[in-house]
Amino acid sequence: MDMRTRLKTLCFLLMLSSGSLNVFAQQLTPAYNLPIDPESKKITYRGVVDQEGPSDYLYKKAIDWFSYYYVNAQSVYSLQDNVNGKIEGNGRMRIYYMDEKEGIRRDGGQILYQIRIELKENRYRYTLTDFTLKATSRFPIEKWMNKSDPAYNSNWDSYLYQVDTTMQRIVKTLKEKMAPTVVKKDEW
């Protein structure tokens, strides 16, 4: 076998294995643990974080985080209120499913959500809620948690997992960017 044939065979085997691994990985999607607000019964990520600094400093850090996390932060904002220490916006994220027949990832739609950051001296609170699938009419994603629904689709678990991991990443990066900036001294 010449080198070119070996290379083609190797590429084919790698593509075949990665496609089957993707399908296998989707089938083994870990269980999600979505936080449900007891009053509204909606998926809600909320937390209060103690962080040193006056509210206007924390407000600036939050604005910086929006610019860091969102490609176009201006399209996300619905409210920027430095006086009252509030930033609100509407985020979007894409979800995907694995087309088992084709072995490729397909677009499952767009999830819309509300993000709110409230700032006070030495602390801030974040809230991520109102998750809906963008469609002709809004579809609350909490319906995907009902496995007894006659319209249940096995992709729903994967979609919920994708939402959960994305929201956890948002919270993690927010906490990292809100932390005080450490200035290193240039000692040489």
What CATH number is given to the structural domain containing 95? 3.30.530.80
Q: Which parts of the chain sit beneath pLDDT 70?
A: 1-31
Confidence (pLDDT) at 185: 79
Answer whether residue 163 is part of any domain.
yes
Answer whether residue 142 is part of any domain.
yes
Answer whether residue 61 is part of any domain.
yes
Q: What tokens does 134 get?
A: 């963008």
Answer whether residue 82 is part of any domain.
yes
Answer whether residue 27 is part of any domain.
no
Confidence (pLDDT) at 86: 97
Confidence (pLDDT) at 136: 81
How many structural domains does the chain have? 1
Mean pLDDT of the chain: 85
Answer whether residue 172 is part of any domain.
yes
Answer whether residue 123 is part of any domain.
yes
Confidence (pLDDT) at 13: 44
Confidence (pLDDT) at 1: 53
Enclosing domain of residue 169: 37-178
Tell me the per-residue pLDDT of 118-134, one tens digit each, with 9 for 90 and over: 999 999 999 999 999 99
